[in-house]
Structure 1
Amino acid sequence: MKIVIADSHQLVREATACLLRSTMPGIIVEGASTGVEAMNRYADHTPDVLVTELLLPDYSGLELCKRVRQRWSRARIMFLSSIDDVGMVKQALGLGACGYISKNCRPAELAIALQKAVEGEVYLEHDLATQLAMVQLGGNGSIGSTGNRLADMTQREVEILILVARGISSQTVAERLNISVKTVANHLSILKGKLGISSALELLHFAVDSGLVQYGRKGSDGTASLG
């Protein structure tokens, strides 16, 4: 089995690779720190499964999933994320991901998820699967209002929310996503309407509360800044 792991943290990539090699003898693991690097690794190695975090420095795991699936329609993509939100699970599955598990999962569960992915099955961590089922049945389970609003957002809106909340300019967002600045502005306007907020500060607070970014220094590492 060949795996590519896309995560911005080297320690996470190497620890995950070490774990997989110890539990799945013969597995080949390649790492990537950005979405662009993950695309290149996929082209070079044609892995059985691409494992990605939701938050990457250049664009999100959702955008990576979309781009990989557009180029390789049979690609198997598994999310291994620190964000265990049912809204993100729905976004990922809607883009063709074959599974979603959190970084709080048992080590053995990752191996099981990868094996299921290779076999062509969809795998969700138990708690996430339960929450998703409850939402689909009309209940709210343990999902708060933030999660419900995330579930109503489109993939593009989530992408733009992550980048803008990181303090990245609309011009740079447009260049990264290959869209116009006007389109970015339109998405932001629609997004604010959906979320019922009116200012950039409220937008940042929502992104932080939902776990999409973290307070800290401004930059490309998934942190956010008010300045």
Structure 2
Amino acid sequence: MQLIRVLIVDDHALFAEALSARLGREPDLVVLPVAADVRRALALTATERPQVIVLDLTLGPENGLDVLDRVREHHPDVRVVVLTAMSDVDAIVQAIRRGAVGWLSKTESADLVAQVIRGAARRGGWIPPEVLGDVLRRLAGDDPEPNGGAQLLADLTPREREVLQCMVDGLNRAEIADRLGLSANTVRTHTQNLLAKLDMHSALEAITLAMRAGMRPGRRD
């Protein structure tokens, strides 16, 4: 079993302690001491080396986006999942632009939080399905040089492009395997390869780049 080191950054002590205790019961999650402010979060990230940070964007008078900026600058391999009471698309888009790979409402179950943490550690991402389309459209319109994305896609093999198109179509790994007649392990390998070629850290980033380059969702079997 691969253990995942998780750092919770939240200034609501009761909520953070309850989440820490709940996630600590998961056999594959190692929950580190809770950080209640930006300074403590950055210090623990440097010393405890979490793989995933679960971050609230409201930290008293401080802004959780500062954690995102600093983590992306100094610890680019650390994955950040936002867990917050905020729910507007503008906030989600801003967080993703600054390096978040997932977004969850504090009303979601701890089971889903654990699932998203595992996905983030495996280079995946999560956006609530009900806002995913709006978020992707906003992100796809952000690129001032759309041809740059097309050039990157040109480096992919035909099979990798097929897998990426399936991702844009909203298919999960098992559904991609079924559509293309591949094993789930082969799909995972193609996904890892295309992410590396595109210099992307998550499926969400790769989908955004693909849409900027002109790929659009098609059929979903």
TM-score with structure 2 length normalisation? 0.58
CA–CA distance in 2 between the matches of 1:59 and 1:136?
Answer: 26
Partner of 1:89: 92
Which one of 23, 26, 29 corresponds to residue 27 of structure 1? 29
Instruction: Quote the offset at 1:2 in angstroms.
Output: 0.8
User: Aligned-residue CA RMSD in angstroms?
Assistant: 2.1
Partner of 1:112: 115
- Whether 1:63 aligns to 2:66 is yes
Partner of 2:49: 46
* Alpha-carbon distance change, 133 to 98 in structure 1, aligned in 2, over 3 angstroms: closer
Q: List runs of 5+ in structure 2 lacking aligned partners.
A: 143-221
2:125 counterpart letter in structure 1: V
Instruction: Quote the offset at 1:131 in angstroms.
Output: 4.0
CA–CA distance in 1 between the matches of 2:128 and 2:51?
Answer: 20
Is the contact between residue 79 and residue 120 of structure 2 (CA under 8 Å) also seen in structure 1?
yes
Partner of 2:7: 4
Is the contact between residue 6 and residue 53 of structure 1 (CA under 8 Å) also seen in structure 2?
yes
Q: Size of the alignment, in residue pairs? A: 138
Which one of 69, 72, 77 corresponds to residue 80 of structure 2? 77
CA–CA distance in 2 between the matches of 1:85 and 1:60?
Answer: 16
* Alpha-carbon distance change, 120 to 78 in structure 1, aligned in 2, over 3 angstroms: same
Is the contact between residue 105 and residue 125 of structure 1 (CA under 8 Å) also seen in structure 2?
no
Partner of 2:165: none
Deviations 1:152-188 (A, max 9, x none): xxxxxxxxxxxxxxxxxxxxxxxxxxxxxxxxxxxxx
Instruction: Quote the offset at 1:78 in angstroms.
Output: 0.7
Instruction: Quote the offset at 1:13 in angstroms.
Output: 1.0
* Alpha-carbon distance change, 119 to 38 in structure 1, aligned in 2, over 3 angstroms: same
Residue identity over aligned pairs, in percent, reads 26
Which one of 11, 19, 39 corresponds to residue 16 of structure 1? 19
CA–CA distance in 2 between the matches of 1:8 and 1:105?
Answer: 18
2:109 counterpart letter in structure 1: R
Matches within 5 A, 1:77-156: 77-133=80-136
CA–CA distance in 1 between the matches of 2:140 and 2:6?
Answer: 34
Deviations 1:13-53 (A, max 9, x none): 1111112123x214221210001100011111000101110
Q: List runs of 5+ in structure 1 lacking aligned partners.
A: 139-150, 152-227
Helix, strand or coil at the partner of 2:103: strand
